[in-house]
């Protein structure tokens, strides 16, 4: 069973992290990251060729994490696989004991190291959520054919409260929930005001009672990274005050300032009605996840 | 219409280098509208190629002709009297035109001079934009007359994704977010409630389910 589901269902505040697979076939990288995260988080997302860069497959890395005793979340994007491959991978993941999936559109292929690739986008993320839900609940694939055994998998989706148009963001969340999303991990929160407004709109529609929302955080390593995220990453909202705060300390102390901001954000997210957990995306900085969780007062993790 | 752009001159010259008698063949339809392969562009390309051959001191016969349409048999057959004077045809038709000419005259190499691009509209002087994928199952009604498959970079039927910022697409700030356009249009039509609907997966069999598509209309056949 999904540990993440169990923790969320019993109303505990969940903590998830992210593990980016290597650009190579070395399982040791995953083992090392597993060691850093074990006991410090409840589940670990494994990214699926994020930013359209070729890496070890998410499913393979999930199995490596599972063998180390972690509860992996299989991230799966519709960019690279059509409905045949996606549904097949769900069955395979379930057979291998992977109990969580995060259904995503995926970063466009033009951002990565294979810009000549054909983008598949046969399903969109909402249709994908619905397909997985029907596989599990009705035991059927798209088109209605029955499965010999339905997959056993906890279904998640992403939400970006910082994309435009803002008023549509909760409509999209509602569609994901209606399609079958049971947990939501959000884009990195730096603009708490906007996030709180979005959560209030979600609560107004009754969505916070229907889905577990985990607020996303990413610790900033430097003022340069903050500016990069603000200017270069579409749909990322890094307010001026955060950038000024990072710039206001000497460069050697900026990483510590980034961690402080991250811990403060987590503490504030815990106070937002309807937030059921945090998702820590420490990009190639997994060694800091344990420290962040500890400083946020979220250790030890529930058994 | 079908849009196209002329291939780089060096590529064209490479593909015709081994021929001595060449017919440069324009098309007066879509590719004329998008200023890629009409009578004017055909004349210009033929002159450029003649000039280039002359500079190299090569003896090459290059003549030009423009058909009303290269993709319709009734017009292609007009080449019957002249085509055998040439050992190759450089076609400024779209991909459909090139193949239609080649089907009628399989013994003559028909070489493309254009890159065929997309189904689109003439938006402005010198500006053509893609707005139709030719999917075989038009859904424009649902989306206020703006196609999410053609105009959203991720073909989302339930968009926009999280990368839409200030009405622009995440792939490039020059590209309008198709879904922002849809939302704005539906708002004008007082039909924003359509955004709550979950559109099911697209039936791509209408586009690519049975190999190359064809339309048979018995009432039009003689």
The CA distance from A242 to A244, in Å, is 5
What per-residue confidence (pLDDT) applies to A126?
Answer: 98
Q: Out of A83, A110, A235, name the one closest to residue B165 (CB).
A: A235
C-beta separation of B37 from B96 below 8 A: no
CB contact A84 to B (< 8 Å): no
Angle ∠(B81,B82,B88) on CA atoms, nearest 5? 140
Half-sphere exposure of A220 toward its Cβ, with a 13 Å CA cutoff? Answer: 32
The per-residue pLDDT for range B122-136, each reduced to its tens digit, is 999 999 999 999 999
Q: Supply the pLDDT for residue B158.
A: 97
Contact yes or no for A131 and B201 at CB 8 A: yes
**CA distances (Å), A237 to each of A52, A189, A232, A257, B85, in order?**
21, 8, 11, 18, 66
Predicted confidence (pLDDT) at residue B222 exceeds the cutoff of 90:
no
Q: How far is CA A64 from the centre of its chain?
A: 18
Q: How far apart are CA A70 and CA B148, in angstroms?
A: 39
Is residue B39 within 8 Å of B26, Cβ to Cβ? yes
ipTM field: 0.93
Q: Rounded CA gap, A167 and A88, in Å?
A: 35
* pLDDT at residue number B135: 95
Å between B149 CA and nearest CA of chain A = 10
Contacts of B203 (CB under 8 A, 6+ apart): B137
Q: Taking the CA atoms of chain A, what radius of gyration do you get in angstroms?
A: 18
State residue B208's pLDDT score: 83
- Cα–Cα distance measured from residue A115 to residue B167, given in angstroms and rounded to the nearest whole number: 23
Partner-chain residue, chosen from B156, B163, B202, that has the shortest CB–CB distance to A163: B163
Residue B159 with chain A: CB contacts under 8 Å: 124
Question: Per-residue pLDDT for B211 more than 90?
Answer: no
Q: How far is residue A200 from each of residues A134, A203, A217, B104, B222, measured CA to CA in Å?
A: 30, 5, 19, 67, 66
Q: Please write the tens of the pLDDT for every residue from A33-91.
A: 999 999 999 999 999 999 999 999 999 999 999 999 999 999 999 999 999 999 999 99
A147 contacts: CB under 8 Å, gap ≥ 6: A91, A135, A139, A140, A141
pLDDT digits (tens, 9 = 90+) for A114-160: 999 999 999 999 999 999 999 999 999 999 999 999 999 999 999 99
CATH 3.40.50.2300 in chain B, residue ranges:
2-118
pLDDT for A223 equals 97
Q: Are A93 and B127 spatial neighbours (Cβ–Cβ below 8 Å)?
A: no
The dihedrals phi and psi of B72, each to the nearest 5 degrees, come to -125, 120
Q: Chain B window 97-136: which residues touch A at a Cβ cutoff of 8 Å?
A: none
Nearest by Cα to B89 from B40, B38, B42 = B42
- In this predicted structure, the answer to whether residue B209 has a pLDDT above a threshold of 80 is no
Residues A238, A244, A246, A251: what is their CA dihedral angle, to the nearest 10 degrees?
A: 130
Q: CB-based burial of residue B14 (10 Å sphere; 0-12 exposed, 13-18 middle, 19+ buried)?
A: exposed
Task: Tokens for B73, please give them.
Answer: 């048999």
Residue of B36, B121, B47, B107 whose CA lies nearest to B70: B36
Sequence-separated (6 or more) residues with CB below 8 Å from residue B8: none
In chain A, what are the helix, strand and coil shares in percent, each to the nearest 5? 45, 15, 40
Q: Which residues of A269-297 are buried (b: 16+ CB within 10 A; e: fewer)?
A: bbebebbbbbbbbbbebbebbbbbbebbe
- B contacts of A187 (beta carbons < 8 Å): 162
Token representation of residue A115: 């810009």
**Alpha-carbon distance A294 to nearest alpha carbon in chain B (angstroms):** 30
Of A206-220, A260-274, B159-173, which range is least confident? B159-173
Q: Which of residues 160-189 of A touch B (CB under 8 A)?
A: 160, 162-165, 168, 171-172, 174-175, 178-179, 187
B137-183 pLDDT, tens digit per residue, is 999 999 999 999 999 999 999 999 999 999 999 999 999 999 999 99
CB A101 within 8 A of CB A76: yes
Q: Residues 57-86, chain B: which have Cβ within 8 Å of A?
A: none
Bridge partner residues of B4 (DSSP): B116
Q: Do B157 and A131 touch (CB under 8 A)?
A: no
Angle at B214 between CA B212 and CA B217, to 5 degrees: 175
For residue A167, count CB atoms less than 10 angstroms from its CB and return exposed for 0-12, middle for 13-18, buried for 19 or more: exposed
Chain B residue nearest residue A160, CA to CA: B162
Written as six digits, the tokens of A279 are 């998702």
Q: Which of residues 155-194 of B touch A (CB under 8 A)?
A: 155-167, 170-171, 177, 180, 183
Paired tokens of A60: 């393979």
Is A144 within 8 Å of chain B by CB? no
Instruction: Answer whether residue B187 shows pLDDT above 90.
Output: yes
Q: What is the pLDDT of residue B210?
A: 79
Q: What fold is seen in the domain B2-118?
A: Rossmann fold (3.40.50)
**Residue B155: φ, ψ to 5°:** 50, 35
User: Could you tell me which chain B residue has the CA closest to the CA of A187?
Assistant: B162
How high is the pLDDT of residue A93?
98
User: CA of A232: which chain B residue's CA is closest?
Assistant: B170
- Work out the minimum CA distance from A104 to partner chain B, whole angstroms: 10
Length of chain B: 222
Predicted local confidence at residue A230, as pLDDT: 94
How much is the pLDDT for A234? 83
Q: Is the pLDDT of residue A275 over 90?
A: yes
Q: How far is CA A188 from CA A181, A193, A207, A238, B123, in A?
A: 19, 13, 20, 9, 38
By CB neighbour count within 10 A (0-12 exposed, 13-18 middle, 19+ buried), where does B204 fall?
Answer: middle
Q: How far apart are CA A86 and CA A76, in angstroms?
A: 8
If phi over 0 gives left and psi between -120 and 50 gives alpha, with beta otherwise, what is residue B93? beta
Q: Is the model's pLDDT at A253 over the cut of 90?
A: yes
Instruction: Out of A83, A105, A142, name the one closest to residue B161 (CB).
Output: A105
Q: E strands of chain A, at which residues?
A: 14-19, 43-46, 72-77, 100-104, 154-159, 183-188, 212-217, 275-280
- Non-local (6+) Cβ contacts of B167 within 8 A are A164, B176, B177, B180, B181
Mean pLDDT of all residues belonging to chain A:
97
Q: Which of B153, B159, B195 sits opposite A108 (nearest CB)?
A: B153
Work out the pLDDT band at B49, boundaries 50, 70, 90.
very high
| pLDDT tens column, A280-300 | 999 989 999 999 999 999 999
| Whole-angstrom distance, CA of residue A198 vs CA of residue A166 | 8
Name the more confident of B210 and A75.
A75
* Beta-bridge partners for A156: A102, A183
Q: Which residue on chain A is closest to B166 by alpha carbon? A: A164
- pLDDT at A147 (0 to 100): 98
User: Which residues in chain B have their CB less than 8 angstroms from residue A179's CB?
Assistant: 198
Domains of chain A: 3-295 (3.20.20.220)
pTM: 0.96
């Amino acid at each position: 069973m999904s540990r993440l589901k169990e923790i969320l269902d019993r109303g505990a505040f969940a903590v998830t992290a992210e593990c980016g697979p290597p650009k190579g076939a070395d399982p040791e990288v995953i083992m090392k990251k597993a060691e850093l995260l074990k006991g410090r988080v409840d589940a670990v997302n494994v990214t699926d060729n994020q930013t359209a860069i070729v890496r070890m497959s998410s499913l393979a890395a999930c199995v490596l994490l599972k063998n180390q005793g972690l509860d992996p979340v299989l991230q799966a994007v519709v960019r690279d696989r059509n409905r045949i491959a996606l549904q097949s991978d769900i069955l395979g993941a379930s057979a291998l004991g992977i109990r969580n999936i995060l259904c995503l559109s995926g970063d466009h292929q033009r951002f990565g190291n294979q810009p000549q690739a054909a983008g598949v986008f046969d399903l969109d993320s909402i249709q994908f959520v619905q397909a997985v839900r029907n596989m599990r609940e009705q035991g059927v694939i798209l088109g209605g054919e029955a499965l010999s055994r339905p997959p056993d998998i906890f279904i998640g989706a992403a939400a970006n409260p910082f994309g435009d148009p803002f008023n549509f963001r909760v409509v999209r969340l509602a569609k994901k929930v209606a399609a079958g999303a049971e947990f939501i991990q959000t884009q990195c929160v730096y603009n708490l005001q906007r996030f709180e407004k979005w959560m209030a709109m979600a609560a107004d529609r009754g969505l916070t009672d229907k889905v577990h929302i985990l607020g996303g955080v990413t610790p900033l390593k430097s003022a340069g990274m903050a500016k990069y995220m603000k200017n270069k990453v579409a749909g990322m909202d890094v307010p001026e005050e955060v950038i000024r705060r990072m710039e206001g300390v000497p460069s050697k102390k900026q990483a510590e300032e980034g961690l402080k901001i991250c811990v403060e954000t987590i503490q504030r997210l815990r106070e937002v009605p309807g937030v059921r957990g945090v998702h820590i995306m420490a990009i190639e900085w997994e060694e800091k996840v344990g420290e962040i969780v500890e400083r946020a007062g979220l250790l030890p993790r529930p058994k | 219409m079908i849009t196209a752009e002329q291939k780089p001159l060096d590529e064209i010259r490479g593909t015709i280098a081994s021929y001595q008698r060449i017919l440069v063949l324009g098309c007066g339809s879509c590719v004329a509208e998008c200023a890629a392969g009409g009578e004017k562009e055909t004349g210009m390309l033929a002159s450029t190629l003649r000039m280039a051959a002359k500079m190299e001191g090569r003896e090459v016969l290059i003549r030009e002709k423009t058909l009303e349409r290269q993709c319709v048999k009734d017009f292609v057959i007009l080449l019957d009297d002249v085509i055998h004077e040439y050992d190759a045809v450089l076609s400024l038709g779209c991909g459909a035109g090139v193949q239609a000419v080649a089907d009628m005259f399989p013994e003559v190499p028909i070489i493309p001079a254009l890159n065929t691009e997309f189904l689109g509209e003439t938006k402005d002087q010198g500006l053509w934009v893609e707005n139709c994928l030719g999917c075989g199952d038009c859904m424009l009604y649902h989306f206020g007359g703006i196609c999410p498959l053609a105009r959203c970079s991720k073909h989302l039927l339930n968009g926009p994704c999280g990368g839409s910022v200030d009405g622009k697409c995440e792939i490039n700030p020059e590209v309008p977010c198709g879904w922002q356009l849809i939302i704005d249009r539906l708002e004008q039509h007082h039909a924003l409630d359509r955004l709550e609907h979950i559109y099911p997966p697209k039936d791509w069999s209408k586009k690519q389910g049975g190999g190359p598509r064809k339309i048979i209309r018995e009432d039009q056949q003689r």
